[in-house]
Amino acid sequence: MTRLLAVLLLLGSVLLLAASAFHPILPLTGAGDLALIAATPHWALVHYTLLHATGLIIAGIWAVWLDARREARPALTAACVTLAIGHALNGVNIAYMTGAGTLLAAAPATPDLALTYQALHQFAVMCGRLAGFLVAIAAAGLALATRSSAPRALTALAWLACGAGLLGNVLAPPGHPLMLTSVGVMAAWQAAMAWRVLRG
């Protein structure tokens, strides 16, 4: 079971990083976002990939818990639950852009349509902001819980996800990719930890 979950974590993290690389940076205005979405042929594919990658990560993170020493598990439980909730909230953000964002972009452009998109998008963005914050907090917990067993480079990477993630989450404009810095950096950490579990 541990190895299966590690495969899910590795696959999900790699897919999330790969799909993120193809995600265009939105202008963060209703009309501008809808125009860019409509002009991006791979928009739906990128977001379906991000959505399913997020699900794989939520399931797979428990490979880290199962692989840990018994005394580390209480702290890991809190960190893994926080990480999973953070990713789930980011999934809400992704799901909005996968479904409603794509549908609204395909409709005839009107001021009311742009306003509707912008209003609904703000809900998704706030879910994303909370997601980035929770993942940053989880990164700190994972750094502390695994510091005695993981290589120093991985511990440092988790601390980077926490620090840079909190800065990006607080300072980035709503909807900007830097708002989710913690999610991106932690994807690298997750992939590395999954690989360690698989190598035994």
Q: What is the pLDDT of residue 200?
A: 81
DSSP for 42-91, written as a single string: THHHHHHHHHHHHHHHHHHTHHHHHHS-GGGHHHHHHHHHHHHHHHHHHH
Do the beta carbons of residue 149 and residue 95 sit within 8 Å?
Answer: no
Q: Within 10 A of 4 (CB to CB), how many other CB atoms are there?
A: 11
DSSP at 186: H
Question: Quick check: 17 and 181 in contact, CB under 8 A?
Answer: no
CA 59 to chain centre: 13
pLDDT at 109: 85
Query: How far is the C-alpha of 101 from the C-alpha of 51, rounded, in Å?
Result: 14
Q: Tell me: the pLDDT tens digits for 21-54?
A: 999 999 999 999 999 999 999 999 999 999 999 9
Q: What is the pLDDT of residue 76?
A: 96
pLDDT tens per residue across span 54-112 = 999 999 999 999 999 998 899 999 999 999 999 999 999 999 999 999 999 999 888 88
Residue in 192, 188, 198, 187 with CA at minimum distance from that of residue 58: 187
> How far apart (Å, rounded) are the C-alpha atoms in residues 180 and 13?
14
Of 3-7, 153-157, 172-176, 190-194, give the lowest mean pLDDT range: 172-176
Q: Which residue has the tokens 């067993």?
A: 149
Output the CA–CA distances (angstroms, integers) from residue 90 to 25, 55, 74, 96, 105, in the order listed. Answer: 17, 10, 25, 10, 21
How high is the pLDDT of residue 51? 98
The mean per-residue pLDDT over the stretch 165-185 comes to 95
- Count the alpha carbons within 13 Å of 122 in the hemisphere toward its beta carbon: 7
**Whether 37 contacts 98, CB under 8 Å:** no
> Cα separation of 31 and 37, whole Å?
10
